[in-house]
């Protein structure tokens, strides 16, 4: 893995675009995250791999991260149990959390590799949050 691809969490979330990571360059965002209950000493986050899954948002080690270590894989898609219930999307907070993108991201990483995925990651996230879904065509940007 290259330095940039280590910012892709085992579950497919791009930690390099997470507010917990990007607050390193944005003091106002850092203060906002602290005001939302994230401990200042946990920020900025170095990404899931950099902190061994000890997520500042959940305040404990991520079960998905632990699972990947137990299965001895780098990404969830490499596991014989992929996709598992840990990756099941949920509508809860889907408007602000990118967790519904996990399986799609993992499929893209498997298909094109981590480096090429990073080239498309911003567009994928943008389509998720800003795209208008057209049945049969997926999310479209006006």
| Domains of the chain by residue range | 5-121
Q: What is the pTM for the complete model shown?
A: 0.87
Tell me the mean pLDDT per 10 residues along the chain, length 142.
Answer: 88 93 96 94 94 90 96 97 93 85 96 96 93 93 86
Given this model, what pLDDT does residue 59 score? 83
Given this model, what pLDDT does residue 84 score? 95
> Which residue in this structure is represented by tokens 């390193």?
24
Q: SS3 breakdown of the chain: % helix, strand, coil, rounded to 5?
A: 50, 10, 40
């Amino acid at each position: 893995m290259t330095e940039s691809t280590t910012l892709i969490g085992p579950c497919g979330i791009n930690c390099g675009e997470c507010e917990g990571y990007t607050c390193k360059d944005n003091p106002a965002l850092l203060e906002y995250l602290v005001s939302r209950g994230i401990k200042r000493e946990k920020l900025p986050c170095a990404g899931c791999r950099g902190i061994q899954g000890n997520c500042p948002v959940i305040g404990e080690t991520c079960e998905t991260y632990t699972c990947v270590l137990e299965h001895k894989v780098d990404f969830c898609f490499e596991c014989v149990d992929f996709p598992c219930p840990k990756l099941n999307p949920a509508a809860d907070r889907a408007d602000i959390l990118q967790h519904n993108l996990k399986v799609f991201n993992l499929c893209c990483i498997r298909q094109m590799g981590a480096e090429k995925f990073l080239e498309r990651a911003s567009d994928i996230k943008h389509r998720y949050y800003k795209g208008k879904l057209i049945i049969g065509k997926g999310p479209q940007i006006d």
